[in-house]
């Protein structure tokens, strides 16, 4: 393991997502919510 990472505090882990990773996660989450809303719409209309 690299020396600098050994010196890191255990309560400050490296970021899992960068800025774009978070943005992509929002788009994917929004898409999943869209699918769910469409399923609810179909169920309501039936």
Partner 1 sequence: MLQPLDWLVVVLYFAFIAFVGYRTGRGNKGLEDFFLAKRSMPWYAIGLSVMATQASAITLVGTTGQGYVDGMRFIQIYFGLPLAMVILCATLVPFFYRAQVFTAYEYLEKRFDGKTRSLTSFLFLLGRGLADAVVIYAPSVVLAIVFGIDEKVIIIAIGVGATIYTTLGGMRAVMWVEMWQMLIIFLGILFCLGAVILGLPDGISLSDAVRIAGATGRTDTVDFNPDPNVTYTFWTGICGGIFLMLSYFGTDQSQVQRYLTARSLTESRLSLLFSALLKIPMQFIILLTGTLLFVFYQFDKPPVVFNPVALERLAASEDVSALEADYDRAFDARKLAAEGFARALDTDGESEARASFLEADARMSGVRGEFLDRIRAREGTFSDTNYVFPFFVLTKLPVGVVGLILVAIFAAAMSTVESELTSLSTATIVDFYRRYARPVAEDSHYLAVSRIATLFWGGFATVCALYMGRLGSAIEAVNRIGSNFYGPILGVFVLAIGTRTANGHGAFIGVLTGIVAVQLTDRFWSISYLYYNLVGALTAVVVGYLLSRVFSSTNPSV
Asked whether position 27 contacts partner 1 by CB under 8 A, the answer is: yes
User: What is the closest distance, in whole angstroms, from the C-beta atom of residue 13 to partner 1 in the complex?
Assistant: 22
Token pair belonging to 45: 């209309």
Rounded to an integer, what distance in angstroms lies between the CA atom of residue 4 and that of residue 9? 10
Find the Cα–Cα–Cα–Cα dihedral 32, 34, 36, 39, rounded to 10°.
Answer: -140
In total, the chain counts a number of residues equal to 46
Asked whether position 16 contacts partner 1 by CB under 8 A, the answer is: no
Q: Which is nearer to partner 1, 8 or 33 (CB)?
A: 33
The site for partner 1 (CB under 8 A) is made up of: 20, 23-24, 27-28, 30-31, 34-35, 38-39, 41-42, 44-46
């Amino acid at each position: 393991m690299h020396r600098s990472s050994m010196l890191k505090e255990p309560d400050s882990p490296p970021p899992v997502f960068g800025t774009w990773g978070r943005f992509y996660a929002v788009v994917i989450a929004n898409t999943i919510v869209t699918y769910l809303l469409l399923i609810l719409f179909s169920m309501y209309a039936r």
